[in-house]
C-alpha cells in the first residue's frame, strides 16, 4: 500500500464532505473546494474519518492513491484552518505595498509592477523600519496559494551573488563567491 494513500483523514467539526459521482466537495467555515477523483477509487467515511481505497495494485492506481489522499487532505485542512505563505523582498530600494487585491512592487526595474491577486487569496505587506518588506498571502486553497506565490517570486528571483530579489521566508540561498574569489 501507498504510505501516504493509506493514511486516514480526520474530518474536523464544521467541515462537510459531499461525494457525488467522482467529485469530492469539501465545505467549511473558510470556503468550499472541489476535486474530481477517479470513479474507480472508493472513498469511505466512518466516524469523521475518511479512507481512500484503490481498486488494484497497478502502478497508475498506486500513484493516484497517494495523490488523491494528499489533495483531499489539503482541502480539509484549507477549509478548516487555511494556509499562509510569507515572502521577503530583499534589496536596496525594493518595496511592496498591498492595496486591497492589488500588490504594488518596486523591484529595481524602470517601472512599478502592479500584481492583481485572485479574490480567494488575501494579501498584506508589512514594511518595518530597517527590515525587508514581508508579503503575507493567506488562502484556503493550497494550490492557488502556491501558484500565486510562485508567480510573485518569478517577478524578481533571488540572484546568487547578493541574494537580492523575492524569496520565501526561511529559504536558504546558495550564494556564489563572485569575481573576487577567482582572482586569489
Q: Which residue has the cell 521566508?
A: 169
The reported pLDDT for the residue numbered 184 is 61
C-alpha cell belonging to residue 72: 483531499
Q: DSSP letters of the chain?
A: --TTTTS-EE--TT-EEEEETTEEEEE-SS-EEEEE--TTSEEEEETTEEEEE-S---HHHHHHHHHHHHHHHHHHHHHHT-EEEEEEEESTT-EEEEETTEEEEE-SSSS-EEEEPPTT-EEEEE--TTS--EEEEEES-HHHHHHHHHHHHHTSPPPTTT--EEEETTPPP-----HHHHH-
Is the pLDDT score of 75 beyond 60? yes
Residue 28 is predicted with a pLDDT of: 95
pLDDT at 179: 82
Task: Summarize pLDDT for 117-126 with one digit per residue, the tens.
Answer: 999 999 999 9
Rg of the chain over CA atoms, in angstroms? Answer: 21
pLDDT band at 177 (very low <50, low <70, confident <90, very high): confident
- 38 burial (CB, 10 Å; 0-12 / 13-18 / 19+) is middle
With bands split at pLDDT 50, 70 and 90, how would you rate the model's confidence at 134? very high
Record the cell numbers describing residue 125, joined without a space: 505587506
Residue 181: per-residue pLDDT: 65
What domains can be seen in the chain, in order of their start residue? 9-80 (3.90.930.12), 83-168 (3.90.930.12)
- Separation CA 175–CA 164 (nearest Å): 11
CB contact at 8 A, 53 and 62: no
Is pLDDT above 70 for 1?
Answer: no
Amino acid at each position: 500500500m501507498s504510505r501516504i494513500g493509506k493514511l486516514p483523514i480526520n474530518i474536523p467539526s464544521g467541515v462537510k464532505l459531499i461525494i457525488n459521482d467522482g467529485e469530492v466537495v469539501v465545505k467549511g467555515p473558510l470556503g468550499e473546494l472541489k476535486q474530481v477523483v477517479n470513479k474507480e477509487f472508493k472513498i469511505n467515511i466512518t466516524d469523521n474519518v475518511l479512507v481512500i481505497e484503490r481498486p488494484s495494485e497497478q502502478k497508475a492506481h498506486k500513484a493516484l492513491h497517494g495523490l488523491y489522499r494528499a489533495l483531499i487532505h489539503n482541502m480539509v485542512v484549507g477549509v478548516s484552518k487555511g494556509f499562509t505563505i510569507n515572502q521577503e523582498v530583499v534589496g536596496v530600494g525594493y518595496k511592496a505595498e498591498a492595496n486591497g487585491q492589488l500588490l504594488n512592487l518596486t523591484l529595481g526595474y524602470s517601472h512599478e509592477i502592479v500584481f492583481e491577486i485572485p479574490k480567494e487569496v488575501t494579501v498584506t505587506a508589512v514594511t518595518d523600519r530597517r527590515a525587508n518588506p514581508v508579503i503575507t498571502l493567506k488562502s484556503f486553497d493550497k494550490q492557488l496559494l502556491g501558484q500565486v506565490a510562485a508567480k510573485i517570486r518569478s517577478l524578481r528571483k533571488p540572484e546568487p551573488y547578493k541574494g537580492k530579489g523575492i524569496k520565501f521566508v526561511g529559504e536558504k540561498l546558495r550564494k556564489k563567491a563572485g569575481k573576487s574569489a577567482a582572482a586569489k
